[in-house]
Amino acid sequence: MSRKRIDYLSKLRRAVQLLLIQRHRRPGVKGWELKRALGRRYLNIIKLVDEELARFGLTVKTIFTGDVSSPTAEDYDKAIFLVTFREPAKISDVLTAGLRIDDVGALAASLAYINSKGGSINRRELESILIEKLPRWRVDSLIDRFIRLGYLESEGELLRIGWRAKAEIDLSLLSLNLLSSSHEG
């Protein structure tokens, strides 16, 4: 094996370790951290890692800070890189993640509604939607829980889509599936 290939393989392993092992309070690793560990061409290594992880049904997801349409090298340095499922999960996976089925339903409703409102909404407006299906005390504690888990972000009375929702949920697909699903029950 050539020296170059050995070097590439060791970087690949290091990249997988950095991406998978949670070293901060939140999972994921910053672009500049990958750059420091893997060198200037870290995006090429990440691309290779993504191809390798595809075999196991996983993918590397990049979450940019702010609204980035055509990312620059600087945007990648500031972004967070995470490993997620490549395909959507099963409902049984959701339930084993420690969430009750009605909590997940409320989360789906919250995210789809906030997304349709352009990404931010007043807390009371969301409460008025959820209160139709859940008691008030549970609505309050659920919204606080979604904020704690990172699915929502709060800025005073304003609620936004949180970092975890951006990483884990395809919001357009969620809204599309919601509109195309049958509405019994």
113 contributes a contact to other proteins by CB under 8 A: yes
CA angle 92, 114, 88 (to 5 degrees): 25
Query: Residues 166, 173, 44, 70: is their CA dihedral positive or negative?
Result: negative
Q: Is 90 exposed, middle or buried (0-12, 13-18, 19+ CB in 10 A)?
A: exposed
Please report, as residue ranges, which positions from 53 to 112 form the binding site for other proteins (by CB under 8 A). Answer: 58-59, 61, 67, 82-91, 93-94, 97, 101-102, 104-109, 111-112
CB of 164 to other proteins, least distance (A): 7
Please report, as residue ranges, which positions from 122 to 181 form the binding site for other proteins (by CB under 8 A). Answer: 122, 125, 129, 132-134, 156-158, 164, 167-179, 181
Number of other CB atoms surrounding residue 136 within 10 Å: 10
For other proteins, the closer of residues 42 and 110 by Cβ is: 110
For other proteins, the closer of residues 30 and 84 by Cβ is: 84
In 74-166, beta strands by DSSP E: 80-85, 120-122, 152-155, 158-161
For other proteins, the closer of residues 36 and 117 by Cβ is: 117
46 contributes a contact to other proteins by CB under 8 A: no
Phi, psi of 28 (to 5 degrees): 100, 165
**Alpha carbon 17 to its chain's center:** 19
| Residues contributing to the site for other proteins (CB under 8 A) | 20-23, 27-28, 58-59, 61, 67, 82-91, 93-94, 97, 101-102, 104-109, 111-113, 115-122, 125, 129, 132-134, 156-158, 164, 167-179, 181-185
